[in-house]
Amino acid sequence: MRYIGSKASTLPIVRSIILRYAGDSRRLCDPFGGVGTVSAGFRAIGYDVWTGDTLTFAHYFQRCRVGISRFPAFSGLRQVMGLTARDQIESALNSGESKRGWLLREYSTRRRFFTESNARRIEYCRSTILAWMEWGLLSEEEYVLL
């Protein structure tokens, strides 16, 4: 299954239809929510939203856009690594490049979606986030956001 695009341009139409026909209900179910555009739009106007998708990346987008209401504390990274601000977390993730990994091989070398340098940086971020999670430095919400 492939990503087929954001529904941002259709959100005003969808919103007007829902507001016209849903009565007083303030609940919305968006079972194939993609990157969460419709769900986030309805959450922003006070709806209780349930959303999902079969694509893993879409699932994580939705959890960030709809499920997380404020920036997490990152207390594990603060306590163990001394990272006390968003920009310090970002700097830690941007501080290195990975050697060779599956992302470099699949998305740079074979398919050329990313330059080699960008693929190495993405791979470094991905492996660092996974390590932080395995070491118990991230909550589930923090992992999802990163």
User: What pLDDT, in 10s, does the model give residues 84-112?
Assistant: 889 999 999 999 877 788 888 888 888 88
Average pLDDT over residues 125-145: 96
Share of the chain above pLDDT 90, in %: 62
Q: Tell me the pLDDT of the chain averaged across its residues.
A: 90
What pLDDT score does 28 carry?
94
Are 39 and 33 in contact by the 8 Å Cβ rule? The answer is yes
Strand partners, 50: 29
pLDDT in tens, 44-75: 999 999 999 999 889 998 999 999 988 999 99
